[in-house]
A and B are shown apart, each in its own frame.
Chain A
Amino acid sequence: MKAVWPHLPALQVVIPLIGALLAGFMRRGTTAFALALVVSWLMPVIAVCMLWQVLSSGTISYHLGGWEPPWGIEYRVDALNGFVLVLVSVVGAVIMPFARRSVAFEIAAPQRAWFYCMYLLCLTGLLGIAITGDAFNAFVFLEISSLSTYVLIALGPDRRALVAAFQYLIMGTIGATFYVIGVGLLYLLTGTLNMADMAVRLAEAWPGQSPAVIAALTFVTVGVSLKLALFPLHAWLPNAYAYAPSWATAFLAATATKVAIYLLIRFLFSVFGASIDVRALPLSDILMALSVAAMFIASTVAVFERNVKRMLAYSSVAQIGYITLGIALANQAGLTGGLVHIVNHALMKAALFLAVGAVFYRACPMNLTDLAGIGRRMPLTMTAFTIAGFGLVGTPGTSGFISKWYLAIGAIERGWWPLVIAIMASSLLALLYVGRVLEVAWLRKPSPAIADASDPPLSMLLPLLVLALATIYFGIDTEWTAGMASTVAKALLGGVR
């Protein structure tokens, strides 16, 4: 144990990478699933150990290949990314048991092993983005996770998945290009790629609002915003989520956009925050306006959407708006709200997409009208859906309420009262689109099309119920989520000018 301890940061990325490679040799879906399950369950152990180490003895720095930073690549774990690593790995571990039956149902036998290979590669990329302290290495991991995501989406049971994957490929590549141009500008300015070193050099050599620094900030922000589907750069997301395999949608919705949000926070607060006051830039107002637009426009589209998966995808765009609103507020309560919503939204959206996946597994239809009375046929599944749905709305007693509470306090502290009203009004829109599904599922007579549907087997039901219960649990006990988020927000705001 002692020998493994200092190498945890490397193992966090190397184990899923090796897992992906071994899955690449496998031809049978079940063996690849077993491997993916073992790897997914190991990841949170490593992530929690590292977070515990960070909280008890400070930032962890790991030098890849033994090369000292800033020359070599450094893996740097602090409270912020320790928190993100725990989120990504826990979501992966909780939803993994669901995958076996769902994937076997939706994906043809020869491609199942490749699916798990691509999932593990995507996990490698996402954990890599979160753990690395090197701006270019983050780009490499961004590409690893993106390329594997395109494949995951293209494996969807519907042929439209191919178009959705291609659309995301184009948008994702543009986003990655913008990001790498921004990193290139930063490298020209500072001569370093190490984020911590970059922050120090920017503060020393380029204080104030140098146009070059602003250009770099703009490129990085736009590139990462494409990846996190900030409105109006979200066009790739609804189709990608709607046509990807159900399990892949749940995994990506809970982790991929969240890791991109982490990268945005890292750049805004840790890299640029030390030399320029991001809050004084027009960027802050633009981010605020786009967040509010996302909350309203995407929610309105969701209200009129007939395909349940697409509806939830538009809801994701709206919910990401809340998180970016917290980033734009950039005060203690606002940032805490944004950070805690990263966790809360990840858990409830994973639950919602898993519930939809379970319905697809038992009954197939995905249009709202086909779901009439599904609540009576699949009561436990739809109960989980209902709980997570109330979480999206932000009902008191669910975790969604906690996030919105902090956001509202953050808005009041900045003196922006209309924002509080906007947060409440957009929650009503969420009530509308969630309510539509609940009305159809619980109050209508079951249609003959779903006559022999019933709750899915335990391996699918358990992850779903765990996530739904987490939505309630984190609405009552906020020690782990909001407490942790507030510590992180304090550390981030302490580092900015």
Chain B
Amino acid sequence: MSLDLILRIGTKLILPFILLFALYVQFHGDYGPGGGFQAGVITSGVVVLLTITFGLEAAQRMAPQAVVQRMIPLGVLIYAGTGVAGLLLGKNFLDYSVLGHDAVHAHELGIFLVEAGVLVTVAGTMTAIFYAFVERGR
């Protein structure tokens, strides 16, 4: 195990930056390339890297199966819930214009929530698919 010392320390060092980059891609999606889908894939990349260097058990201690499986519907629920919020406030489904004090801010908030939902679902789904492949034949 001592041989991959550099790999393990390097992984530990780089992980926070990968997550930070995922958040950058997430929030920069408003102004440039990026958004929930890409950020979700990058987030699940953290689990992939963890599994490769520390093994599946270590990775699943950090991102347990139960949590990952619940992230999948949770993200879509955040998305749909944002739509229903518009419905409850008297507008049409997915109409965000009533979520804030003026229409522009409301739309920004609406898109922010929707993209957050996409992040959660994509990160969960990608990780679940990865786990499904890794667990085969164990």
Contact of A10 with B73 in the complex, beta carbons under 8 Å: no
B93 touches A7 (CB 8 A): yes
Contacts of A22 in B (CB 8 A): 73, 77
Nearest neighbor of B97 in chain A, beta-carbon distance: A66
Whether a CB of chain A sits under 8 angstroms from the CB of B91 is yes
Known: A14-B80, A18-B84. A63 touches B92 (CB 8 A): yes
| B62-96 to A contact mask, C-beta < 8 Å, 1/0 | 00000000101110110010011011001111111
Q: Would you give the 0/1 interface string for B97-112, flagging 1 where the beta carbon is closer than 8 Å to chain A? A: 1000000000000000
- B95→A66 contact, CB < 8 A: yes
List, in ascending order, chain B residues with CB within 8 A of A25's CB: 70, 73-74
A48 to B73: give the CA distance in the assembly, Å: 29
What 1/0 flags go to A21-34 for Cβ under 8 Å of B?
A: 11011000000000
B86 to chain A, nearest CB (A): 8
Partner of B93, one of A10, A20, A24: A10
CB of A415 within 8 A of chain B? no
Taking CB atoms, residues of chain B closer than 8 Å to A64 are 92-94
Taking a contact as CB atoms under 8 Å apart, the answer to whether A65 and B94 are in contact is: yes
The bracket for how many chain B residues form the interface is: 10 to 19
User: How many whole Å from A353's CB to the nearest CB in chain B?
Assistant: 29
Chain A residues with Cβ below 8 Å from B95 are 65-66
**Considering only CB atoms, which chain B residue lies closest to A114 in the complex?**
B69
- Given A7-B87, A10-B87, A24-B72 in contact, is the A65-B93 Cβ separation under 8 Å? yes
Q: How many angstroms from the CA of A22 to the CA of B74 in the assembled complex?
A: 9
Which residues of A, 42-71, contact B by the 8 Å Cβ criterion? 62-66
Cα A342 to Cα B91 in complex, Å, equals 36
Specify which of B76, B84, B86, B92 lies most central, judged by the most chain A CB atoms within 10 Å of its CB: B92
Contact indicator B92/A10 (Cβ below 8 Å): yes
**Interchain CB contact under 8 A, B77 and A18:** yes
* Assembly CA distance A429 to B43 (angstroms): 59
| Complex CA–CA separation, A316 to B90 (angstroms) | 44
Question: A66 near B91 (CB under 8 angstroms)?
Answer: yes
Task: Give the complex CA separation of A63 and B87 in angstroms.
Answer: 12
Contact A65–B87 (Cβ < 8 Å): no
Q: Is the CB of B83 within 8 A of A14?
A: yes
A290 contacts the other chain (CB 8 A): no
Q: Is the CB of B97 within 8 A of A18?
A: no
Q: Is the CB of A21 within 8 A of B93?
A: no
A131 CB to closest chain B CB (Å) equals 12
Show the binding face of A for B, using Cβ within 8 Å.
3, 7, 10, 14, 17-18, 20-22, 24-25, 62-66, 117
What would be 14 A-B contacts, judged by CB atoms less than 8 Å apart?
A: A7-B92, A14-B80, A14-B87, A14-B93, A21-B73, A22-B73, A22-B77, A24-B72, A62-B92, A63-B92, A65-B96, A66-B91, A66-B92, A66-B95
Show the binding face of B for A, using Cβ within 8 Å.
70, 72-74, 76-77, 80, 83-84, 86-87, 90-97
Q: A63-B92, A65-B86 are in contact. List 20 more A-B contacts (CB 8 A).
A: A3-B90, A10-B87, A10-B92, A10-B93, A14-B83, A14-B84, A17-B76, A18-B80, A18-B84, A21-B77, A21-B80, A22-B73, A24-B70, A62-B92, A65-B92, A65-B93, A65-B94, A65-B95, A65-B96, A66-B95
